[in-house]
């Protein structure tokens, strides 16, 4: 596994392990495969969150959201164990040179697994710092061969009703889908995660393969990916379909653009309890130097 440092996030900024395992962003892998547990990583240049106090294991494992397993906070812990993650196949199709159904182990054999420390910001205005294991999405797309006309990448989550009890209810239009512009997908920060803390991602956190886009709200980081499609048109996304007024396609972390029902100017770091001191939200979640140029000239209040 490769290790790279960048920016200001260090070991002591990482959210305690017991705070992350089983914590899934409310709205919206195989895995560690011999990954070491050292905490080195790639992260943005801005100030790291400080003063995170660990919650108890019970608090975190009983407070989790993965709507495919139910909408109550304790549903994922109770029911995600039903998900079969081995074997796992990812279909890559659309505007690629080498479409096909790829076994996850074959994908991983061609990828460089790294450990990266990233900020994580939920649209609900809570935040944490997470050490992920995974590989750059760009490496997967290059493996498949992106055709010149492709402009977007669409993603799809597993839909297996016999193992995902929550999909019996029309909370969303299943399966869960997400998308990125091609330049966002090819950005070096964009990760396909296979592990956390050098361990396999638990089922309730998106095993065995999930997207991590650290400058966007957490619901963009789609879990349990089974399809990646290259396309020339903007793909539909689950929460935008459910409520376009509240959830745009871009979903960049932006303290100047509020959610219609709450402010995004500040956030609550996980680890200090519900009444933890709030801190200012950083533009693009602290990754402005790396990603802002992709949005030059765009009105981010309209393209939210």
Nearest to 199 by CA among 40, 33, 76, 64: 33
270 labelled as ligand-binding?
A: no
122 labelled as ligand-binding?
A: yes
221 labelled as ligand-binding?
A: yes
Distance CA 48, CA 246 (A): 28
Distance CA 198, CA 277 (A): 30
**DSSP label of 208:** T
217 labelled as ligand-binding?
A: no
287 labelled as ligand-binding?
A: no
**DSSP label of 168:** G
178 labelled as ligand-binding?
A: no
278, containing H or E segment: none
Distance CA 125, CA 122 (A): 6
Query: With the CA atoms of 6, 7, 8 and 14 taken in that order, what torsion angle do they form, in degrees rounded to the nearest 10?
Result: -50
10 labelled as ligand-binding?
A: no
CB atoms within 10 A of CB 9: 26
222 labelled as ligand-binding?
A: yes
68 labelled as ligand-binding?
A: yes
223 labelled as ligand-binding?
A: yes
Binding site residue list for Mo-molybdopterin: 64, 67-68, 122, 157, 205, 210, 221-223
Binding site residue list: 64, 67-68, 122, 157, 205, 210, 221-223
């Amino acid at each position: 596994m490769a290790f790279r440092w960048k920016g200001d996030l260090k070991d002591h900024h990482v959210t305690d392990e017991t705070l992350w395992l089983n914590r899934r962003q409310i709205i919206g892998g195989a895995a560690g495969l011999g990954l070491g547990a050292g905490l080195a990583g790639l992260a943005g240049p801005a100030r790291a969150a400080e003063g995170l106090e660990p919650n108890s294991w019970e608090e975190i494992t009983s407070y989790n959201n993965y709507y495919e397993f139910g909408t109550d906070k304790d549903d994922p812990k109770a029911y995600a164990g039903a998900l079969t993650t081995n074997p796992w196949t990812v279909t890559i199709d659309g505007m690629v040179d080498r479409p096909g159904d790829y076994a996850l182990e074959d994908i991983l054999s061609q990828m460089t697994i790294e450990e990266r420390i990233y900020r994580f910001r939920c649209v609900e205005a809570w935040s944490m710092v997470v050490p992920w294991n995974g590989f750059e999405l760009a490496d997967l797309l290059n493996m498949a061969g992106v055709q010149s006309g492709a402009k977007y990448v669409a993603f799809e989550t597993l839909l297996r009703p016999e193992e995902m009890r929550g999909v019996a209810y029309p909370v969303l239009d299943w399966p869960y889908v997400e998308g990125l512009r091609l330049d966002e997908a090819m950005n070096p920060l964009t990760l396909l995660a296979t592990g956390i803390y050098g361990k396999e991602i638990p089922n309730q956190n998106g095993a065995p393969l999930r997207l991590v886009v650290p400058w966007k709200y957490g619901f963009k980081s789609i879990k349990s990916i089974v399809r990646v499609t290259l396309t020339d048109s903007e793909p539909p996304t689950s929460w935008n379909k459910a409520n376009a007024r509240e959830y745009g396609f871009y979903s960049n972390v932006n303290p100047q653009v509020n959610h219609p029902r709450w402010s995004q100017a500040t956030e609550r770091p996980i680890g200090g309890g519900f009444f933890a001191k709030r801190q200012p939200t950083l533009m693009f979640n602290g990754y402005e130097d790396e990603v802002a140029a992709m949005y030059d000239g765009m009105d981010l209040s309209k393209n939210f």
